[in-house]
Structure 1
Amino acid sequence: MAQVVGGYHAIALPLAHSAFKRYIYVKKHNVKENETVGGESQLVADRTVYVVNLPAHADEHWLRACLEPAVGSIQHVVNAKTAGTSNSNSNGNSSGGAQDPLMAKTAHVVFKSKDAVKKVLQVKQLAMSDNEAPATGLQAYLNKYRANKPGLAAVKAIADKYMAQFDADEEEDFRKREELKAQVDDDGFKMVVNTKKRTQAAADDLGRPAKKQKSKEMDNFYRFQMRERKRDQLKSLRERFEEDRQMVEKLKLANKFKPE
């Protein structure tokens, strides 16, 4: 016997690698006058069902893959948010603008026959292939982490590929410079080309000791520099004189100072 909850028919969706099931809920949709546009409704009477509690990844392709093998062909799918506000062609595409590919967890499904509506209200479970549902929850975070952290082997492969491409570009650049070296211009002059490879030139620069930079400041160029230098010299002389005077005083106190 079909399970009915609040007027909705419950259909089980088995979860991959799990004993638990997810449920979607379906009921026959009654077309209202305010759902028509230009006198024509995109929700056909007696061939439309309203589906709720759809998975987050559900789109028209997912609904077709789940429902058509069990109940029959679908004419088009209408997002519940846009139902009655725009027309849909036979493929379910909105003529009034781009339709949201996700069904916002609710959708109107229009079948090609009335018998399909009867069947969908009697089916208890739908088969759902593993490749239809993307990873969610913890598994989705694990997949994202593993994609961002590919491991040492993958990083080494990427680095080796990059270095191989770099060496190939280096050889091609060196070959072109060798060809330019042998060329003579219209005035009879030979082209001067650096034939060293970039890696070799960089190594030479690293092995060469760095030159000591000369001070750009010129001494005794400005008057204030001369005044400061003289002031420093006088200060130094005063300090030395004071040190000598204190030493003489100490020697006098010790009776060791005997001036001639």
Structure 2
Amino acid sequence: MAKEFTSLGLRLHADAPHISYVFIKHHKPKEGEAEVPNALYVAGLPLGLDEVSLEAVFSVFGHVANVVLHPSKRSAAVVYESKEDVSQALQHASSGQVVDFPLPAPEGPVGLKAWVASHRAQRPGNAELQKQLDGWMEAHEAAEAAREAARQAAMAEDGWTVVVRSKGRKRAREVGGMSTVSGGIAPAAAAAARAAADAKQAKQAENFYRFQQRDRRRSELMDLRHKFEEGRKRLAALKAARHFRPN
């Protein structure tokens, strides 16, 4: 497959220290497509070439009817008006001659510098990202506040009393002509709930590890044995007391 291509040297800038090489061959259509004998397939295009530049470069071999650039911009199909122009381009490439066609100087960066500039433009940095996030959050909070105000206003028109739960003692206040009562959990109840949660967590952590479970079972077994021995001694003492006969 590689032998089908012929390399063609291009000097695209007058002061360029190097020559760019592309690879050309007769364009072969895909299966089911009509054959185009006057089409040339070009691969390995340098960065920054578009349809206009390709038409200008390959027009030195004949009149170019159309240029179709691949989305990757690394290959293209150049369609000439006659197949003799295709043969002339292939013969010129086979002879090893370089095509001197200086393109206009680009306005912006090209090649790797263009990729770096595009990468930086798409990623403005943490400061800009934080600014965008702050703006989005402010807009979101403003929309939420507007919806809540509209909801409370609608409830006030219907004669409802809006109850707002908050920490601390209960208090009543007027908001926009609407009676609002706020209250919360009593401090004693909150402290009791926290104490119960802490006790439950401590109990769960007590038997978390396996060695803790083994130690607990061993301690329970020793306690049972100790109680058994004490019970046996008391039983023996009771039996001895029953056979006691005073003088």
Quick check: TM above 0.5?
no
Bigger helix share: 2
TM-score (norm: length of structure 1): 0.41
TM-score (norm: length of structure 2): 0.43
